[in-house]
């Protein structure tokens, strides 16, 4: 999707999105006002952002193996770490939202599909040192950089798998009785996204939370998001443009919120 189309999608999002005044559900109201819109700073934010700042200054180039839908910015296999960080990692605003969501839902473990250099992984891991984050990255050289970052920040609750999602995800899923929190952030095609969703949805419970990245990234991702919303196990969804948040709590009605963030 080109930039103009993304802008057009964003304008469409702005037109249909609401703020807290349009929310009838007390659960979603609390989630939106207390968690999504919370602007409190936590100590870990500076630590993670200083690692990002160092990566953005790096002059090092690495060879990249792309197992996914590809990048809209890069074409060569040799890339600067600075550019990978700039274009693949979620900006601070969204990393911090992931942190707050994990902190709110208190998962016993987290699965992240798409590590890159590990910025979002660190945000997910920061909320509780007892919660293991299982994160998958297909590119060996990017995995090495992520591992260095995890060592630098000193988080010991991250387990990184240098493998394809297709290989690693079924194994990780099979090791869990239920999946509390899954962040889908790689291989943005409709088929791949739905296949990862279908692998994970079997293991949901009422407390599960799934977060889909870049639901407006392409027509395929928009179509995948529409399918996910229709899944019978899905109850409430919240679209904040950059993320689609999916809840399976059966106390909630089947309702799709589009909220400004």
Ligand X SMILES: C[S@@+](CC[C@H](N)C(=O)[O-])C[C@H]1O[C@@H](n2cnc3c(N)ncnc32)[C@H](O)[C@@H]1O
Distance between CA atoms of 49 and 193, rounded to whole angstroms? 28
Q: Is 137 in the site for ligand X (CB under 6 A)?
A: yes
Instruction: Kindly identify the residues of this chain, within the stretch 227-256, that bind ligand X according to CB under 6 A.
Output: none
Segment near ligand X (CB under 6 A), from 101-109, 111-119, 197-205, 218-226? 111-119
Q: Which of 44, 67, 82, 92 binds ligand X (CB under 6 A)?
A: 67
Are the C-beta atoms of 101 and 211 separated by less than 8 Å? yes
Q: What are phi and psi of 18, to 5 degrees?
A: -125, 170
Residue with tokens 């999504």: 36
Q: Is 114 in the site for ligand X (CB under 6 A)?
A: yes
For residues 71 and 256, which CB has a smaller minimum distance to ligand X in the complex? 71
Q: Is 157 in the site for ligand X (CB under 6 A)?
A: no
- For 167, the enclosing helix (H) or strand (E) is helix 165-174
Q: Which of 13, 55, 88, 224 binds ligand X (CB under 6 A)?
A: 88
Q: Is 165 in the site for ligand X (CB under 6 A)?
A: yes
Edge-to-edge strand list for the sheet holding 255-258: 158-162, 132-137, 109-113, 181-184, 209-213, 243-247, 236-239, 255-258
Segment near ligand X (CB under 6 A), from 133-141, 203-211, 219-227, 229-237? 133-141
Q: Is 181 in the site for ligand X (CB under 6 A)?
A: no
Q: Which of 25, 30, 35, 68 binds ligand X (CB under 6 A)?
A: 68
Distance between CA atoms of 120 and 108, rounded to whole angstroms? 18
Taking alpha carbons only, the member of 121, 111, 115, 99 closest to residue 41 is 99
Q: What is the separation, in whole angstroms, between the first and last Cα of the chain?
A: 22
Q: Is 90 in the site for ligand X (CB under 6 A)?
A: yes
Q: How many residues bind ligand X (CB under 6 A)?
A: 21
Taking the complex as a whole, the smallest distance from the CB of residue 242 to ligand X amounts, in Å, to: 10
Taking the complex as a whole, the smallest distance from the CB of residue 253 to ligand X amounts, in Å, to: 31
Distance between CA atoms of 56 and 39, rounded to whole angstroms? 24
For residues 136 and 215, which CB has a smaller minimum distance to ligand X in the complex? 136
Q: Which of 9, 96, 116, 208 binds ligand X (CB under 6 A)?
A: 116
For residues 23 and 179, which CB has a smaller minimum distance to ligand X in the complex? 179
For 53, 115, 126, 149, 176, the CA distances from 49, given in Å and listed in that order, are: 6, 16, 12, 11, 31
Residue with tokens 């349009």: 22
Q: Is 185 in the site for ligand X (CB under 6 A)?
A: yes
- Residues lying near ligand X in the complex (CB under 6 A): 66-68, 88-90, 114-116, 119-120, 136-139, 142, 164-165, 185-187
């Amino acid at each position: 999707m080109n930039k103009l189309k993304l802008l057009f999608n964003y304008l469409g999002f702005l037109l249909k999105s609401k703020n807290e005044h349009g929310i009838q559900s007390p659960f979603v109201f609390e989630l939106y006002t207390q968690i999504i819109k919370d602007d409190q700073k936590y100590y870990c934010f500076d630590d993670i952002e200083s690692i990002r700042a160092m990566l953005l200054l790096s002059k090092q180039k690495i060879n990249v193996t792309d197992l996914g839908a590809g990048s809209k910015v890069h074409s060569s296999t040799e890339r600067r770490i600075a550019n990978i960080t700039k274009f693949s990692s979620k900006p601070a605003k969204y990393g911090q939202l992931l942190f707050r969501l994990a902190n709110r839902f208190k998962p016993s473990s987290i699965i992240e599909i798409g590590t890159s250099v590990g910025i979002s992984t660190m945000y997910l891991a920061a909320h509780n040192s007892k919660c293991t984050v299982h994160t998958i990255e297909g590119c060996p050289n990017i995995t090495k950089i992520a591992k260095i970052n995890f060592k630098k920040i000193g988080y010991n609750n991250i387990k990184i798998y240098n493998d394809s999602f297709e290989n690693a995800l079924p194994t990780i899923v099979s090791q869990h009785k239920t999946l509390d929190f899954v962040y889908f952030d790689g291989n943005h095609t409709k088929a791949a996204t739905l296949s990862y969703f279908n692998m994970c949805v079997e293991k949901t419970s009422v407390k599960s939370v799934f977060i889909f990245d870049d639901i407006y990234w392409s027509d395929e991702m928009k179509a995948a998001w529409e399918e996910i919303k229709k899944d019978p196990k899905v109850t409430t969804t919240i679209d904040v443009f950059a993320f689609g948040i999916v809840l399976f709590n059966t106390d909630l009605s089947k309702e799709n919120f589009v909220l400004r963030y």
